[in-house]
Structure 1
Amino acid sequence: MERRLEVAARAGDIDALYSLLKEDANLLDRIENIPFIDTPLHIAASAGQVLFALEIMRLKPSFARKWNQNGYSPIYLALQNEQTELVISLLDVDRDLVRVRGREGKTPLHFAAECGMIDVLAEFLSVCPKSIQDLTIRKETALHVAVKSDKLEALKVLLGWLEHVGKDRPVLKWCDNEGNTILHVAASRFQIEARPYS
């Protein structure tokens, strides 16, 4: 039955979902009880099946914060697969999904900074401003991640947003687990463009 649910999630077949639930009303509960698994929401998010993902979120909101075996939440998988419409739809339901930590404590904001997803960064900061404070297990902010990934456009978006909301100074002074601020990291990587923000 789980295989049929996976096929339905990948295809975005809501009717098939409800047929399966008629056969086994506890199907989603059993999945919920498994600590690390690709839930139907993970599968739908990866495949860009927006309506199916929203229906699953309505039925089992807890799936949105669940990790799969690789340490990723559904919104993280949607980002990895460039399913931006789905990401935005999930945030319409729950803005705090931007702050769901995954593998190594990275949030979707960290991932967007690492990949240079400019529009997504702006959306994340707009819907969940506190996400700028989230740290990885290495105590890295999204700013650290952008600098270390050589994503200077992403760094500019983050710095511009901080300046706009008037929170730039404290976050710029935060150190990673090696004691480096983003300016230290930028200087060590010869990223001259980051220096005017000091």
Structure 2
Amino acid sequence: MAESLKVAAETGDINGLYGSIKEDSHVLDRIDAIPFVDTPLHIAASAGHIDFAIEILRLKPSFGRKLNPDGLSSLHLALINDKFETVKRLIKFDKELIRVKGREGANSLHLIAENDNNANQQQIVAAGRIDILAEFLFACPNSIEDLTNRNETALHIALKTENQRAVQVILGCICRIGRTEVLAYRDVEGKNAFDMAESTSQLEVWGLPLLIALF
């Protein structure tokens, strides 16, 4: 990537973006031709430069589905760096970005459903993650069925990592959209949602009455 374009992405400089395009009209195409790369969208999303991220996504929609060498999409990186407003704008532009699978087959819903120990130490960040989880499910409810390489749904991951608030939000979505069959999905170890809840030894905490009612 041209240094001028990299700097523009790091600083959120849209004028710098178009300056790079004027210097080389194929600059974005060349980046897109690389199988695994940190695109300007990855860089801008990581830093929370919302306007730049949306501008580059509009110019090159394929960047939204491209993975970097770590197997992460731009939306993954925005989540990892707690750039929640950037996440919201990206999925408003293209809700299917939620379903882009990265490392180990995990999409952004899987990522946000996982209990983040660091986030638990910061109530504002933890609340932001739950808000994003709810927005993902509202924007793209079909993502509730997406599986990782280990055949795990977002519910599997929330239960396994004992993310109580995420479990409650996901179960609420399952009830709302009538996708109770998701509860019966089994991971590579043969465990469904009820099995995962039981393995935590905290069945009532994880909504045992609701799980029983749904099965």
**TM-score category, normalised to shorter length:** over 0.9
Of 144, 148, 165 in structure 2, the residue corresponding to residue 132 of structure 1 is 144
- Structure 2: gaps spanning 5 or more residues: 117-128
2:115–2:162 contact (8 Å) kept in structure 1: no
Q: 185-194 or 170-179: which moved more? A: 185-194
Shift of 1:92: 1.3
CA shift, 1:166, in A, is 2.0
Task: Provide the rounded CA distance (Å) in 2 between the counterparts of 1:48 and 1:14.
Answer: 14
Runs of 4+ in 1 over 6 A off after TM superposition: none
1:191 is aligned to 202
| 2:164 maps to 1:143 | no
Offset of residue 67 of structure 1: 0.1
**Alignment-mate amino acid for residue 180 of structure 1:** K
* Cα distance in structure 1, aligned partners of 2:158 and 2:200: 12
Identical positions, percent: 51
CA contact (8 A) 2:145 2:153 kept: yes
- What is the RMSD computed on CA atoms of the aligned residues? 1.1
2: distance between equivalents of 1:184 and 1:141?
13
Q: Superposition pairs for residues 93-104 of structure 1, below 5 Å?
A: 93-104=93-104
Match in the other structure for 2:113 = 113
Q: Deviations over 1:58-86 (max 9, x none)?
A: 11100000000000000110000111111
Q: 2:27 — aligned with what?
A: 27
Provide structure 1 residue ranges, at least 5 long, that are not aligned to the other structure: none
What's the offset of the Cα at 1:164?
A: 1.9
Letter of the structure 1 residue corresponding to residue 39 of structure 2: T
Q: Once the 2 structures are TM-superposed, how far is the Cα of residue 3 of structure 1 from its aligned partner?
A: 2.1
**Equivalent position SS for 2:114:** helix
How many residue pairs align between the two structures? 197
